[in-house]
């Protein structure tokens, strides 16, 4: 796995893969790679945290393994579990044949279902370039966070019936959080941290230039400025960069060359996903946004 040899080289690679970072993110990514530390990214939903892992996977020529966190996630769902249905079928077949000598085989690797964490450790142990994305860690319970802390310390997994799998060279790890709750300091201390904020008008225009090249510079400026005003309103879910790109593509489909109040009102559902937010914008006045 070839790592870019400088911050500038990494930043250039990101731009070539249509991801326009700010300088602090480029530095944090480079340091995480150079130091072999997980990269911990916090920020509002839609600012491009998950996309960092995807782009990094492409740059490194690696395989992306994603663990999507949710409330109630535990080690068995994140690490491994046994295929009980196949095990029961195997036992019945052995009983029907009268051969009980191979019953122990149902606890072999053939009946093990590897989940993302074990997949990543195994891939790294086999020397395969791997990026492990632990997405939205703040959605998981604190008990799982404690288990994850242990895994990040040694990248070793012990399966009692099979043995220990250890990755001497850890995979590249990207952890994201929308900060719906605070992540424990012990996890953050093991990571290189960066906060990804909403982009400036200039950077959002640069993003549109890469992700929606058919959008004119004038229209891109209108969209970026409108997004800044939308995010300044007290919305339940402010629109992210992904919504900016979607808005640009929607206007392209509608052959709109200018962001007028009329076309903005008609396409609010592309950028806002809650009725209360749409109502608030209309009460505020769509013409004041554009």
Encode pLDDT of 82-141 as tens digits. 878 887 887 777 777 766 555 557 777 777 888 999 999 989 888 889 999 999 999 998
Residue 147 has pLDDT above 60, yes or no: yes
Q: What is the pLDDT of residues 9-40, one digit of tens each?
A: 999 999 999 999 999 999 999 999 999 999 99
pLDDT at 156: 82
In terms of Cα–Cα distance, which of 237, 236, 232, 270 is closest to 254? Answer: 270
Identify the CATH assignment for 7-75+115-196 out of 3.40.50.450, 3.40.50.1400, 3.40.50.300, 3.40.190.10. 3.40.50.300
pLDDT band at 81; cut points 50, 70, 90: confident
Q: Where are the domains of the chain?
A: 7-75+115-196, 80-114, 201-289
Residue 47 has pLDDT above 60, yes or no: yes
Q: What is the pLDDT of residues 228-264, one digit of tens each?
A: 999 999 899 999 999 999 999 999 999 999 999 999 9
Q: What is the pLDDT of residues 190-224, one digit of tens each?
A: 999 999 999 999 999 999 999 999 999 999 999 99
In terms of Cα–Cα distance, which of 242, 270, 240 is closest to 45? Answer: 240
Phi/psi for 288 (5° steps) reads: -75, -20
3-class secondary structure, 8 = helix
Distance CA 244, CA 73 (A): 32
Q: What is the pLDDT of residues 51-63, one digit of tens each?
A: 999 999 999 999 9
Beta bridge partners of 132: 65, 173
pLDDT at 22: 92
pLDDT at 66: 97
* Spatial CB neighbours of 219, under 8 Å, sequence gap ≥ 6: 248, 251, 256, 257, 258, 259
Tokens linked to 74:
């535990």
| Average pLDDT score over residue span 150-163 | 80
Q: Count of alpha carbons within 13 Å of 31, Cβ hemisphere only?
A: 13
Percent of the chain with pLDDT over 90: 67
| Average pLDDT score over residue span 154-175 | 84
Distance CA 157, CA 167 (A): 9
Tokens linked to 37:
């530390």
pLDDT at 104: 56
Does 199 or 161 have the greater pLDDT score?
199
pLDDT band at 290; cut points 50, 70, 90: confident
Q: What is the pLDDT of residues 262-279, one digit of tens each?
A: 999 999 999 999 999 999
Least confident of 17-21, 38-42, 140-144, 163-167: 163-167
Secondary element (H or E) of residue 287: helix 286-289
């Amino acid at each position: 796995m070839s790592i870019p040899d400088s911050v500038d080289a990494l930043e250039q690679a990101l731009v070539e893969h249509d991801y326009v970072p700010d300088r602090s993110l480029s530095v944090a990514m480079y340091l995480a790679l150079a130091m072999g530390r997980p990269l911990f990214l916090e920020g509002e939903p839609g600012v491009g945290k998950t996309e960092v892992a995807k782009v990094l996977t492409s740059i490194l020529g690696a395989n992306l393994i994603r663990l999507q966190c949710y409330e109630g996630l535990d080690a068995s769902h994140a690490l491994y579990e046994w295929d009980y249905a196949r095990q029961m079928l195997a036992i019945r077949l052995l009983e029907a044949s009268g051969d009980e000598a191979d019953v122990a085989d149902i606890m072999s690797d053939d009946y093990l279902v590897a989940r993302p964490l074990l997949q990543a450790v195994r891939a790294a142990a086999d020397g395969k370039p791997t990026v492990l994305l632990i997405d939205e860690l703040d959605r998981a319970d604190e008990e799982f966070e404690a288990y994850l802390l242990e895994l990040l310390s040694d990248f070793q997994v012990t399966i009692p019936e099979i043995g220990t799998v250890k990755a001497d060279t850890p995979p590249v790890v990207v952890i994201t959080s929308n900060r719906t709750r605070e992540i424990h300091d012990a996890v953050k201390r093991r990571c290189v941290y960066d906060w990804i904020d909403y982009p400036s008008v200039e950077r959002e225009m640069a993003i549109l230039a890469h992700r929606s090249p058919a959008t004119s510079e004038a229209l891109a400026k209108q969209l970026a400025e409108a997004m800044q005003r939308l995010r300044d309103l007290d919305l339940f879910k402010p629109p992210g960069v992904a919504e900016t790109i979607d808005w640009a593509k929607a206007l392209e489909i509608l052959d709109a060359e200018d962001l007028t109040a009329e076309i903005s009102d008609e396409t609010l559902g592309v950028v806002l996903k809650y009725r209360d937010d749409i109502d608030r914008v209309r009460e505020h006045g769509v013409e004041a946004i554009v």
